[in-house]
Amino acid sequence: MQCYKCGVELSEKDFCTACGADVARYKQIIYTSNRLYNQGLEKAKVRDLTGAINDLRQSLKFNKLNTQARNLLGLIYYELGDVVDALTEWVISKNYQDSKNLATDYIGMMQANQASLEVINQAIVKYNQTLNYCHQDSLDMAKIQVKKVIKLNPKFYKGHLLLTLLYLHDQEYNKALKEVEICRKIDTGNLIANRYYKEISEALGLDDNKPAKKVQQTAPVDDYWLNQGPPLAALPEPGNSSILSTIVYILLGLVVGLAIGWFLLGPIRVRMNKAGVEEEMTQVRDQLSAKSAELEELTQTNDSLNAEINNLNTLVAEYEQGAGTNEAVNNLMYAAIEYSKGEARDPMVIADYIGKIDPEYVMNEASEAYVSLYNTVKGTVGNTVATNYYNTGMEAYRNADYPTAIENLNNAIFYDPSNSEALYALAVCYVENGDVVKAKECFTQVIALFPDTERASKAQNYIDSLGDI
């Protein structure tokens, strides 16, 4: 025993030799706690568990650190099926004394067997439900439930006791006796169980000296009709049948089974086949629909592609036209560039570029700015170029090189339409070259442009001489 104040081991004195604390009462308390523990232990050995519980609780009231008392109390609770109470005591015991404590082993065993713990917990839950049924006056349900409790945990003391009470209420003394004897076997000191036993004994006439006599008990409803009603007619026992009849019966059963199968399953099979065919048809229809949709899509694509081709062709045409336009613009630009050289410009170069421009374009399609520039450039170099072309053409005429003469005289007229000599010479070249139609055209132009002139008269003579060629 250690001093409660300083923890030093106490002597036989009533005071602590270390700190001087008065330990007389303290020692008495510890001794009382130990005595109560011993009493509890003795009672537990003879299965007076209720008495043991009371003593051990008292022991702990005196000294909560009495580990042995607490462990034994937990053990008794466990024996009675109150597992939670048992665990509580062991946990507290371990908390106060962590080493060399049996509670550690008890807790370990509980934790190792979780399944068993779960079953015990279910029994507790059902027991609590049973109490609820009892309070709700559903005693039949309570009886059923408490039987389940006992089945889950045969050592659940309170379950047996409650069932005893329920049987007593229904005056089922024999059953009550059975249950109360189980209770008394577990715990001999339970006053409630002993009182129930006394009640049952009186009802059943149980005496140590006298033999027990059966009580004319009022049987419950289910037992009454079994005792009072007509006996149930016994079912005829099957006679010794021969092997042949057995085989016949088996064959008959097979035939009947097949017939049932045919008539019941046959239509089902037909339906299934039909369903299979229909399913296949549905698949084919779906495929056909898909193909049709694909075809339509391709047709639309084709149409759009054709339209695109047409657009592209239009663009190409426009581009080509534009190219033609671009060429005319470029030639004019080159001519303008040459023109911009001022005194250094070469009129023939300009004339060359101007000659590449289509007059139809200038007359019909060119913009106003283009025509203006064109006329300016052409007009500036026109006289010089016209003279050059005229001289070259006449030279070629004199040399009887009519094609060259025609080309140059055409250019001369192009740049200088007022040159009657060039026009007349051109007409004569056409005659000499054998192009009478062109010759007549030119002679006609001479007459029209230069009337009442000598050349006009000569032109008229030529036209007359050529006749209707």
Partner 1 sequence: MIDFEEELKKFHPSLEVDDSEKAISERDLSDMVDLIVDTAKNTPTRQ
User: Which residues of this chain interact with partner 1, rule CB under 8 A?
Assistant: 4-5, 15, 19-22, 25-26, 29-30, 60-65, 82-85, 87-88, 91-92, 117, 120-121, 124-125, 127-128, 131, 134-135, 158, 161-162, 165, 168-169, 192, 195-196, 199
Q: Cβ closer to partner 1: 126 or 455?
A: 126
Report how far residue 193's alpha carbon sits from residue 264's, in angstroms, rounded to the nearest whole number: 64
Residues written for the chain:
469
Q: Which helix (H) or strand (E) holds 207?
A: none
Whether 70 contacts 88, CB under 8 Å:
no
Shortest distance, position 55 Cβ to partner 1, whole Å:
15
Task: Name the DSSP letter for residue 209.
Answer: S
Report how far residue 351's alpha carbon sits from residue 378's, in angstroms, rounded to the nearest whole number: 7
Q: Cβ closer to partner 1: 124 or 366?
A: 124
Shortest distance, position 246 Cβ to partner 1, whole Å:
57
Q: Cβ closer to partner 1: 57 or 438?
A: 57
The 3-state DSSP class for residue 423 equals helix
Shortest distance, position 260 Cβ to partner 1, whole Å:
54
The 3-state DSSP class for residue 2 equals strand
CB under 8 Å to 392, separation ≥6 — which residues?
Answer: 404, 408
Query: What distances in angstroms separate CA 143 from CA 77, 201, 204, one per listed residue?
Result: 24, 22, 22
Q: Cβ closer to partner 1: 65 or 298?
A: 65
Query: What distances in angstroms separate CA 242 from CA 236, 237, 311, one per listed residue?
Result: 18, 15, 101
Q: Cβ closer to partner 1: 96 or 319?
A: 96
**Residue listed under structure tokens 């609820």:** 132
Shortest distance, position 127 Cβ to partner 1, whole Å:
6
Lookup: tokens for 343: 């005194």
Shortest distance, position 92 Cβ to partner 1, whole Å:
6
Q: Cβ closer to partner 1: 92 or 215?
A: 92
Q: Cβ closer to partner 1: 125 or 277?
A: 125
Neighbours of 165 (CB within 10 A): 18
Q: Cβ closer to partner 1: 186 or 425?
A: 186
End-to-end C-alpha distance for the chain, whole angstroms: 164
Whether 114 contacts 120, CB under 8 Å:
no
Shortest distance, position 165 Cβ to partner 1, whole Å:
5
Q: Cβ closer to partner 1: 195 or 213?
A: 195
16 CB burial (10 A radius; 0-12, 13-18, 19+): buried
Shortest distance, position 43 Cβ to partner 1, whole Å:
21
Q: Cβ closer to partner 1: 134 or 335?
A: 134
Q: Cβ closer to partner 1: 55 or 338?
A: 55
Report how far residue 128's alpha carbon sits from residue 235's, in angstroms, rounded to the nearest whole number: 44
Helix axis angle for 420-433 and 454-466, nearest 10°, is 20
71-103: buried (b, 16+ CB within 10 Å) or exposed (e) per residue?
bbbbbbbbbbbbbebbbebbebbbeebeeebbb
Shortest distance, position 16 Cβ to partner 1, whole Å:
8
Task: Name the DSSP letter for residue 418.
Answer: T
Shortest distance, position 63 Cβ to partner 1, whole Å:
6
Residue among 72, 81, 87 nearest 37 (CA): 72
Shortest distance, position 13 Cβ to partner 1, whole Å:
11
CB under 8 Å to 353, separation ≥6 — which residues?
Answer: 331, 332, 334, 335, 338
CB under 8 Å to 6, separation ≥6 — which residues?
Answer: 16, 18, 19, 21
Report how far residue 350's alpha carbon sits from residue 336's, in angstroms, rounded to the nearest whole number: 8
Shortest distance, position 233 Cβ to partner 1, whole Å:
40
Shortest distance, position 32 Cβ to partner 1, whole Å:
8
Q: Cβ closer to partner 1: 72 or 429?
A: 72
| Radius of gyration of the chain measured on its C-alpha atoms | 69
